[in-house]
């Protein structure tokens, strides 16, 4: 039996048209999307992770881990089935046991898919553009926490697509603004020609200021921009300086004085202005002196305002999205402490600092004793909760700024202690042992104790040019092995350093 293609939704043509408006298909790789598939692979423990965008007759991969192909026919796409269930993570535990996929060439041949899970990427209006999906060559079941993480990454991907669209609009606005500015600069030598240019711009607010009196007048577009009716007197009856945000006034005044004093060819500034409704809008302000006295003193300034609020908001959203992605890339999704990537970066940074300052750098390698037996007895959800509680206990024992707690892998944690000698590190390790003992997390399957316990390896080094940071990790790991060999529920201190 051949592969069973997914049914096409009635609005599929609209969905494809919406996808193509993002102008992302066949685009070059981008780090923000690559980070998402790397996180998906890490969080779900699969060799393959993809951002799949479903076009009319193909699925194309914006980002991929563990797969060489850039695209596949849509009729073979698991993701096409996922689009029909946009409110859930579409999961195939064993493709060979599913009649829809058993004879699919992607199952019977490379990449030999057995397990699939895909979270739909839903954009504004609920249309699915594709999925953030993970794939394995072995049958498996997706944990609830992994499904939650996959949905979160799909939402982040949708946010990146939305930001891509907003950025494209903002860039177009910037091009239009640059063109208008260049035109104004070429024509500003004659005030009448400048006025004609501004009026032809159509969407530019025009204002005119008498310098000696600060009397300020505005055209209809300017008044509408600030929330007044076009035929209303509006801000003409208001001191224009009260319309400018107090935090922006110093830079506005400095730019204006530079132009009036002759040190700048034009007044140019981005700042906020008070809307009649009470909120603030961002404007791009351009102005030139069009009349001077016989002594050269400025008498009249004519300028324009362009509303750039949407561009400013888009820029702020992009910065926020990047910050969120950065946090996701350095935080362990289960425990909330740093992940292995964050630990490696911090170790390299603190090792360099130790070498410069000739101060010791200490490391605790911490392992939860008999954690597999805990999972076998209490189940994996309880095991996840145990990992979270242990992470909380260890974090509470770290009291100085700059000390780093990270999940090193599985049931193992690492604590990096800058500027700490071996005795100080031993004290922190002892505090962790005692705090977890006080927490009394039941572990009746443990041959060591009836509660969850820790084995801790302690090491400290002063970095040197000929010593790699891995030396510290190896020393702490060796000490951890000694703690385990000595009966667990204890610490062991490296003495070789």
Rounded to 5 degrees, φ, ψ at 451 are -130, 165
Number of Cβ within a 10 Å radius of residue 379: 11
Q: At 27, list the tokens.
A: 């685009």
Q: At 332, list the tokens.
A: 């362990």
Name, in order, each residue with C-beta under 8 angstroms of 222's C-beta and a sequence gap of 6 or more.
205, 206, 207, 235, 305
Helix (H, G, I), strand (E, B), or coil: what is residue 194? helix
247/252 Cα distance (integer angstroms):
10
Name the residue with tokens 């961002």.
Answer: 282
Question: Are the CB atoms for 52 and 67 separated by under 8 Å?
Answer: no
Q: Active-site positions? A: 411
451/438 Cα distance (integer angstroms):
10
Query: Across the strands, what pairs with 387?
Result: none
Alpha helices in 66-190 (DSSP H): 78-82, 105-108, 144-187
Burial category of 225 from C-beta neighbours within 10 Å (exposed 0-12, middle 13-18, buried 19 and up): buried
């Amino acid at each position: 039996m051949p592969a069973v293609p997914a049914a096409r939704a009635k609005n599929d043509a609209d969905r494809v048209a919406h996808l193509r408006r993002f102008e992302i298909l066949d685009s070059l790789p981008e780090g923000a999307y690559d980070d998402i598939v790397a996180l998906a692979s890490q969080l779900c423990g699969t060799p393959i992770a993809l951002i799949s965008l479903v076009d009319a007759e193909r699925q194309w991969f914006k980002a991929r881990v563990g797969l060489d192909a850039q695209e596949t026919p849509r009729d073979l796409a698991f993701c096409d089935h996922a689009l029909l269930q946009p409110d859930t993570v579409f999961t195939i535990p064993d493709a060979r046991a599913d009649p829809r996929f058993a004879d699919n060439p992607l199952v019977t041949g490379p990449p030999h898919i057995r397990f699939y899970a895909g979270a739909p990427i839903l954009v504004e209006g609920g249309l699915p553009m594709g999925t953030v999906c993970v794939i394995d060559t072995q049958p498996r079941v997706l944990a609830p926490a992994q499904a939650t993480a996959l949905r979160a990454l799909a939402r982040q991907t949708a946010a990146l697509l939305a930001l891509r669209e907003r950025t494209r609009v903002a860039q177009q606005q910037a091009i239009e603004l640059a063109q208008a500015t260049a035109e104004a600069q070429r024509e500003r030598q004659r005030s009448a020609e400048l006025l004609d240019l501004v009026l032809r711009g159509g969407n530019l607010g025009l204002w005119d200021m008498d310098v000696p009196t600060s009397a300020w007048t505005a055209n209809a577009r300017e008044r509408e921009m600030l929330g007044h009716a076009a035929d209303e007197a509006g801000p003409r009856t208001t001191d224009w300086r009260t319309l400018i945000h107090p935090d922006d006034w110093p830079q506005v005044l400095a730019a204006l004085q530079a132009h009036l004093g002759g040190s700048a060819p034009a007044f140019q500034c981005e700042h906020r202005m008070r809307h009649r409704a009470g909120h603030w809008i961002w404007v791009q302000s351009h102005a030139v002196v069009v009349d001077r006295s016989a002594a050269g003193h400025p008498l009249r300034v004519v300028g324009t305002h362009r509303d750039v609020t949407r561009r400013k908001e888009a820029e702020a959203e992009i910065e926020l999205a990047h910050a969120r992605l950065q946090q996701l890339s350095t935080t362990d999704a289960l425990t909330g402490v740093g992940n292995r990537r964050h630990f490696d970066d911090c170790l390299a940074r603190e090792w360099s600092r130790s070498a410069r300052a000739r101060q010791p750098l200490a490391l605790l390698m911490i392992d939860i004793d008999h954690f597999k037996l805990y999972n076998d007895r209490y189940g994996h959800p309880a095991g996840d909760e145990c990992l979270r509680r242990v992470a909380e206990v260890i974090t509470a024992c770290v009291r100085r700024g700059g000390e780093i707690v990270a999940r090193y892998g599985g049931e193992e944690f690492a604590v990096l202690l800058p500027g700490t000698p071996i005795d100080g590190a031993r004290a922190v390790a002892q505090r962790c042992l005692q705090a977890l003992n006080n927490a009394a997390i039941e572990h009746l399957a443990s041959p060591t104790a009836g509660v969850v316990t820790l084995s801790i390896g302690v090491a400290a080094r002063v970095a040197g040019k000929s010593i790699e940071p891995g030396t510290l990790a190896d020393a702490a790991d060796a000490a951890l092995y000694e703690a385990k060999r000595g009966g667990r529920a204890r610490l062991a201190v490296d003495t070789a350093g």
